[in-house]
Structure 1
Amino acid sequence: MRDVARIAGVSHQTVSRVINHHPSIRESTKQRVLAVMDELQYRPNRAARALVTSRSNTIGVLAASAASLYGPASSITAIEDAAREAGYYVTVAHLGSLDHEDIVAAIDHLMAQAVEGVVVVAPQAPVLEAISAVSIDVPYVTMQTAGVIEGHELSVDQIAGAREATRHLIDLGHRRIVHVAGPQDWLEARARMKGFFDELESAGLPRTEAILGDWTADFGYEAGRRLLADRNVTAVFSSNDQMALGLLHAIRDARLEVPGDISVVGFDDIPEAAHFWPPLTTVRQDFGELGRRCIALLLADIDGITSPVGEVVQPQLIVRASTAPPPAR
């Protein structure tokens, strides 16, 4: 650090302020110091800084064991981007399982790294139960929950998104609609199934039995083969886009057409959804906005600023070519 200060022609304290993103540093001075740091390939020792300042500038993320799925993966990326803009690093602890001991061990791992706050991207009942049972002595926010841990949640309105998807099918004239649900230990899957049933009830339509799935395209394919035995079904609402992809495959293998014979709606709007055949009608979640709000809420808590519970993020129905009125019979 002293070498950087000497070459840049500034004081040791000025270099320290640049590293710590102090607002009083002039932009020209900041850029000169950063240029010298780059020239010398100087990287601040985060552990040493934490000892001096009692601040690690690190946020921990507790991630679901299925973090490779589009929703959790996109949430983590959004958190990392928002944290980086705020001058924070992110360390991620992936859950090996949903056993209570594994969840507690992952929390302990983050605490041992002196994180200043934690974001929970694991909207599964056992995770939130474990969090409620242990003591987390830093601020934390849970993403995509639905009022399970009061005062700590930031969520997308999963119920509203599911209702909108179901209403879209009803408005097209469908009356026999089946839901392919996600695993029920995921709070999002429960909320989407509730939204589906609520909308059916609101429209005065009979409640159809949901098919409980596992988020994968393979399961969607098997579910498609099963539900096609009932030729009265004219539409399917899938709890995510991957299972919807499997449904499209099964329907085509049965020599039926989407949406001519059966309509399909997904959830998430993964990047590939617009390129399915046919392009998939689905519910979009704004993960970038969710990440920004999450970090803003967490940093306010870290800085001791009283802030209201995060406003629920509203999803958006994206209508493409996989939905149409039911076939005339």
Structure 2
Amino acid sequence: MTVTVAAELDKALRPLVRGELPVHLTAWDGSTAGPVTAPKVVLRSPDALRRLLWSPGELGAAQAYVTGEIDVEGDLGEALAHMWAVARERGLSGVRPSPWTVAKVLRVAAKLGVTGGPLPAPAAQANIRGRLHSMLRDRAAISHHYDLSNDFYALILDPQMAYSCAYFTRNAPGTPQDSDYGLEDAQRDKLDLVCRKIGLETGMRLLDVGCGWGSLSLHAAVLGVLLWVVGVVFEAVGDHQLRAFKADPSNKGVIMDVGLWAWTRHPNYFGDSCVWWGLWLIAASVWPGAVTVLSPVVMTYFLVFATGARLLEKTMSQRPGYPEYQQRTSYFLPLPPKR
């Protein structure tokens, strides 16, 4: 009976993976092993095994994949997800093979003729020299990794080009399943989580370093747009409600305390302040814009404490019913009315 490459590998790897192969393996001699429904992995050259013998982790597999010695048919992401799921299910994380298992794998490698010295690294792999973490070595590593076009990163990143981990609130253990939820949604959820965790609020400055193409700052700028919209709506609706109230002859001499005016005594000034802070948040998404923080600070001060609301309060406090209105309605920030 002829012994095939796939059969030999299947027999040698079963103790390591604690069961049948998590992939359907096709070797360079055409032989196959593993479940036919599993992701399909093709060993196109004996050099693939030689690399894995010298670098039995991710580096060896990545080198073999880059050089074309190993290939994955179909979706690479789905294949990796399947293999990680099997590893979790079988508890393979951190497992070290026994000396007997290592010896058996080496015997199989010798039998298949894949022994020998280490193969040269792929041409695309960084060739970094110098003392570990010295300035020159780290500079060369950074240059090799980052000095690439945006077109390259656009192939592997989400549309926001967020160069950091995602935060999946769907399709992860313990979370709801959603077929429409993907990487773009998870990146947005991550940005939301970061902004919440750091307590980002109006008037704060945000320094975005190392997150990619400014996605975190742009996300914060979106918050500025939303705040600006809230301000415009508050001011417009408040003014409209006041005009409609005054246009009714039966309201002559009556204090306006309905609609937005039941939540704040100055919805138009509050809206105006939101507009200023929203514009500043948008401008602060880039460094020069952050220095303009004085503008919303000064405008809010005048709206609240100087001319705007404070001056109107002095005038209105003489009108009948206004002191009671002051007691049950928030001065500036919208709050539920007191009863």
Fold equivalence (TM over 0.5):
no
The higher-RCO structure (CA 8 Å, 6+ apart) is 1
Higher percent of residues as helix: 2
Higher strand share: 1
**Structure with the greater alpha carbon radius of gyration:** 2
TM-score (norm 2): 0.28
